Amino acid sequence: AQKITQTQPGMFVQEKEAVTLDCTYDTSDPSYGLFWYKQPSSGEMIFLIYQGSYDQQNATEGRYSLNFQKARKSANLVISASQLGDSAMYFCAMREGISTAGNKLTFGGGTRVLVKP
């Protein structure tokens, strides 16, 4: 089974509107972390936001917020007031466990976002 699933391969969003990118995950570990990264066409991976499994509140970071629904095992990224520079691939990733051997990230397949002017 896929550990991280991003069901939207691509989507368009109008500039200044909000967009929600879906991410569901699968783990039996009670301790895990969820991350979102942005990959623009230039290729680098940019860290956006983090949500820990024990965090009581949804993470927010500027225009990025994470809609964390633990029971449903979903961690959707919301980008508010989209800008042209938000056009990129977006990856959801998970780190399982708290042991040193559990530090690797498992990535979803990504969602390509194109912001229209």
Partner 1 sequence: NAGVMQNPRHLVRRRGQEARLRCSPMKGHSHVYWYRQLPEEGLKFMVYLQKENIIDESGMPKERFSAEFPKEGPSILRIQQVVRGDSAAYFCASSPPRDRGSTDTQYFGPGTRLTVL
Task: Tell how many helices (H) and how many strands (E) occur in the chain.
Answer: 0, 12
Query: Which among 22-30, 36-44, 63-71, 78-86 is the span making contact with partner 1, rule CB under 8 A?
Result: 36-44
Q: What is the dihedral of CA 20, 59, 83, 73, to 10 degrees?
A: -20
CA distance 88 to 77: 14
Instruction: Please report, as a single letter, which amino acid is at residue 93.
Output: A
Confirm or reject binding of residue 37 to partner 1 (CB under 8 A): yes
DSSP type of residue 41: T
Quick one: which H or E segment has residue 103? none
CB nearer to partner 1: pick between 16 and 32? 32
Residues 4-23 that bind partner 1 (CB under 8 A): 4
State the binding string over 45-84 for partner 1 (x if CB under 8 A, else -): xxx--x-x--------------------------------
CB nearer to partner 1: pick between 79 and 93? 93
Which residues neighbour 52 within 8 Å (Cβ) at sequence distance 6 or greater?
32, 33, 34
Residues 84-103 that bind partner 1 (CB under 8 A): 91, 93, 95, 100-101, 103
Residues at the contact surface with partner 1, assessed by CB under 8 A: 4, 33, 35, 37, 43-47, 50, 52, 91, 93, 95, 100-101, 103-110
